[in-house]
Structure 1
Amino acid sequence: MTIIRPYGDTTGDGMVQLSFTLPIAHDKIADGAALQLAKKMGLDPAMVVHSRPIADARDGRSGFTFFVVYGRVTHLVDTSLVQVVERDFPLLSPQEVNAAVKQTLHRPLVVVGGCIGTDAHTVGIDAILNIKGFAGEKGLEYYHELQVVNLGAQVTVPALVAAARDHHADAVLVSQVVTQRDAHLHNTREMSAAFREAYPRDRRPLLVVGGPRFDESMARDLGVDRIFGRGTTPGEVASYLVHRIVRKEAA
């Protein structure tokens, strides 16, 4: 079956739940405004199942309200039309990654990573790079054939390019969590442009970005080699590096 409908209480009932914030004080008018928006979005019938004020840090008063709305939609989803970026490389164990790098490069594979722009959220980059890792997997620092340079947070693009040059990076990993006003997209385009200007095409390090709100299909548009979304593990990143760098060197 390729045609599906949302499920809430019973199969095929079309019930969905969504949350949003409106710039309005928390009262009955606010609840009515939320219902009006929900109906314009196609939920009919709709109900506000939760609403609460969001306090203003300056004076404790709130001009914003958070809502959770529950309702029925009539829209159908055709899964045959869904397009995703499939993993096109095998998942390798740390031992297989180390063996491939050692046998092919005969030197450590150098990875430089960090958060660029004003992004100070290092949880994502640390999950991939730090030895403690993520989801039960050790980070890239655990791989003895990988040399990892973690630049941390709020790294400028020129500083990232300079670090990549200084360490002769094979790959540059950038994490972007802050997405207000599409900052993650602007920062990524700025980074890719800087690397294209700083390196000859055949010597540029592999550019990899990750974050919870990236569209993995936008790699070409953003000028990078690969985008990893939420839930990515260190093993996936290490396997990709072997797929793109080590296998290319061997060829």
Structure 2
Amino acid sequence: MLQKIIVSNCASENFFELLDKNSICYIKSLNNEKFNNNYNDHIDLSILRIDNDIYIENSVFEYYKDFLKDYNLIKVDVSDFKNGETVLNVAKNDKYFFHNEKFTSKEIFESLNLKREYVKINQGYSNCSMICFKNHIITSDEGVFKSLKSKNINVELVTTDGIILNGYKNGFIGGTCGFVSDDTLLFYGDVTKYQDYDIIKRVADEENVKILFPKGEDFVDLGGIVSLWR
């Protein structure tokens, strides 16, 4: 199946060349003016895919609708929520979803809860803070790490040091990457430059996941990549 993804429009030329070389079909994000200018290009604030449903923030709906026409598209107006930036920023794998129900809509929560077990965490920016493999979680948030540890979920804690996020001292690990298939994890930057690369590599090897990245690029947080491979 053709790999299709949505990525930040701020990614490097080398990153897009890597996608072309690997025949990965992509669309660049449209800045969402409802969000902070430092990260309004981050696609995981504007789009959430739950199986065959894709929730899209209504300000950018028209831009994405043709690229996503094979899915059931649902508009969401994040202006209706206290912190709209967290509404669609949900972390998940096939077994669990990680969020706090007060940070999202009832409809989204119930949709996720149909096929996945809810794991409550205090971090509203859940997807920003986590890489969700099938059997392991990697997080750069100590609170998330403690919550998952207490539930006996396989979780590894990594540093935020060295993750570049525009306007901030450090970024978050979930915003550096995204799965483009069951067995390929794509990073915006050179993950081998990262202090805790050894942890990521070990977990990826245990999960039989290949790591794909543009060599030599800064290790940046540009928001979690949204993938449409299945």
Q: Which has the higher helix share?
A: 1
RCO comparison, higher one (Cα < 8 Å, 6+): 2
Which TM-score bucket, shorter chain as reference? under 0.3
TM-score, normalization by structure 2: 0.26
| TM-score, L = length of structure 1 | 0.25
Structure index of larger Rg: 1
